[in-house]
């Protein structure tokens, strides 16, 4: 089992300057990096508004909306929530609901009208 102990020095080391990936070109200051992340978020928001005006089918629309939302979530989670600089424990903890989300959306798909509910057919036999 885990023990808890005070780790003042180790905690301070955690909060060193954060470096951004090269493609974000954050320069010397992390503030610039966060500003650029914000700019990317605005860009993707504009992109999804323009995309929805095209009036694609339900499936294509869901794909576009989920896809752009996933990208924006990645930006916010990775940089604003500091996950890219956090230890793996945070990533593993954040990944826990993914399993339940997969089960939930599978259940939605399988119970929708006209959906195939036979396991053999789902598996392609």
Where along the sequence are the contacts to another protein (CB under 8 A)?
1-8, 10-12, 14-15, 30-31, 34-35, 37-38, 41-42, 45, 48-49, 52, 58, 61-62, 65, 68-69, 72-73, 76-77, 80-82, 86-90, 93-94, 96-97, 100-101, 104-105, 108-109, 111-113
Note whether 37 and 75 are within 8 A (CB): yes
Comparison of 25 and 104: residue with beta carbon closer to another protein: 104
Helix axes 30-52 and 58-75, enclosed angle (nearest 10): 170
Considering beta carbons, is residue 76 or 125 the nearer one to another protein? 76
> Pick from 73, 66, 109: which is nearest to 94 by CA?
73
* Minimum CB distance to another protein, residue 48 (Å): 5
- Torsion, Cα 27 34 96 11, to 10 degrees, reads 70
**Which is closer to another protein, CB of 25 or CB of 101?**
101
18 contacts 30 by C-beta, under 8 angstroms = yes
């Amino acid at each position: 089992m885990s023990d808890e102990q005070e780790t003042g020095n180790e905690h301070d080391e955690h909060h060193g300057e954060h470096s951004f990936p090269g493609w974000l070109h954050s320069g010397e200051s992390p503030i610039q990096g966060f500003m650029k992340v914000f700019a990317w978020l605005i860009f993707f928001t504009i992109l999804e508004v323009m995309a929805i005006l095209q009036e694609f089918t339900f499936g294509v629309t869901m794909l576009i909306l989920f896809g752009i939302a996933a990208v924006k979530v990645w930006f916010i989670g990775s940089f604003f929530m500091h996950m890219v600089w956090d230890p793996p424990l945070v990533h593993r903890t954040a990944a826990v609901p993914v399993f339940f989300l997969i089960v939930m959306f599978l259940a939605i798909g399988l119970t929708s009208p006209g959906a195939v509910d036979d396991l053999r057919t789902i598996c392609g036999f």
